[in-house]
Structure 1
Amino acid sequence: MLDQLVQLVRENAQETVVANPAIPNEQNDAVIGEATHSIASGLQDALANGNVKEVMGLFNSNGQVDSQNPLVNNISGNLISNLTQKFNLNSGAAASLAASLIPTVLGSLVKKTNDPSDNGFSLDGIFGSLTGGSTNGMNLGGLLGKFAGGLDKDGDGDVDMQDLMGMISNGAKQQQGSGGLGGLLGGLFGK
């Protein structure tokens, strides 16, 4: 997956890195590598810290990546820090590069992952790579579907406490005969 991610960053780095006068040509590949590392490690750290909802939300965005998304901000911030420290890039140039490159690459990654005709990226492959294979056997596409529409009971575009309360309420109505916590949990998990 890392090789494909490097290629994706390279495809999107022409203006922000290669044609950028603030980056010497001999550092282009290193900066592209640093951007790739920032994206991979940012996604990996988010998963390791339990921010699965944010990562799944990113992959459910149809390629429209919000640059104000906390996950995107974290990845961009790490890239800015690394560019200023490792390449002596001034903070303004580093911020401009990250603000342009990171959302664009993540948007391309999401589009390619969600495109059934493009088998270069898959959600299972990405998560497997980021977690060291600990997602083997999980149906991440199905899980994404639950995040996308199945759990968004109030239709507001996110999964939050209102959705949870709606699922519990519906579960209680559907499971009135069985009652108790089992009935509520049955409604939550669609049983």
Structure 2
Amino acid sequence: MFEQLTQLVQQYGNSAVVNNDAVPNEQNEAVISETSNSIFAGLQKIASEGGGEQLASLFSGKSSIDSSNPVVQQITQQLSGTLGQKFGLSSDTSSGVASGMIPQILSSLVNKAKDPNDSSFQISDIIGSLTNSGQASGIMETINKYGMQFGLDQNADGKVDVADVMVITKTKGGIAGFIGKLFGSK
């Protein structure tokens, strides 16, 4: 998973790092590498500190992946501090790089994990790589539980996954139908 995460960071690193005059060119690669490390370490820290609900919310798509998301906030703050310490970047530059990349990278990570046509990221593999097996199963149970409570197991396989989203979006009025089902309207 770390390699795929690094590829996402490199993809989004152009505008925030490479094309940023405030980041010296000789530090571009190291800043991008540190961003990958910080995201992975930040997600691991959240999981190890009992943040299963936050991760479940992130990967289930129930929370927006922007600066208001607690996971995004925590990782952005951590990365910003690290970039200032390790590379001597100003707080404005560090904050700009972190806030410019973290929401995009996490959003892309979640979207790829939910895409049935993209096998490079699987939610269970992501959660497994961030946690020990007990934590991983707890987070996956939380994702499943909330989906089951909303009646989202459309194909009756006992779990809520991308296949269920596809059934709802095809048969119940597209994504609007899925959102309506999620919030209890018919």
TM-score normalised by the chain length of structure 2: 0.74
Distance 2:138 2:117 in 1: 19
Match of 1:123 in 2: 123
Deviation (angstroms), 1:116? 0.9
Displacement over 4 Å in runs of 4+: 132-136, 138-143
Contact 1:83 1:89 in 2 (8 A): yes
Shift of the 128–102 alpha-carbon distance from structure 1 to 2, 3 Å rule, reads: same
Letter in 2 for 1:45: K
Letter in 2 for 1:117: N
Contact 1:113 1:121 in 2 (8 A): yes
Contact 1:9 1:36 in 2 (8 A): yes
Matches within 5 A, 1:20-169: 20-61=20-61, 64-132=64-132, 138=137, 143-147=142-146, 149-151=147-149
Deviation (angstroms), 1:109? 0.3
Distance 1:74 1:43 in 2: 9
TM-score normalised by the chain length of structure 1: 0.72
Distance 1:57 1:63 in 2: 6
Letter in 1 for 2:143: L
Distance 1:84 1:146 in 2: 40
Q: Greater share of helix residues, 1 or 2?
A: 2
Aligned residue for 2:77, secondary structure, equals helix
Deviation (angstroms), 1:143? 4.5
Contact 1:63 1:111 in 2 (8 A): no
Shift of the 140–114 alpha-carbon distance from structure 1 to 2, 3 Å rule, reads: farther
Show structure 2 runs of 5+ residues with no match. Answer: 152-186
* Equivalenced residues, count: 151
Aligned residue for 1:82, secondary structure, equals helix
- Post-superposition Cα deviations, 1:133-180, rounded to whole Å, max 9, x if no partner, equal 5567x4966642323x33459xxxxxxxxxxxxxxxxxxxxxxxxxxx
| 8-17 vs 58-67, which moves further | 58-67
- The percentage of aligned residue pairs carrying the same residue is 39
Contact 1:62 1:110 in 2 (8 A): no
Deviation (angstroms), 1:37? 1.0
* Pairwise CA RMSD: 2.3
Contact 2:112 2:118 in 1 (8 A): yes
Contact 1:65 1:106 in 2 (8 A): yes
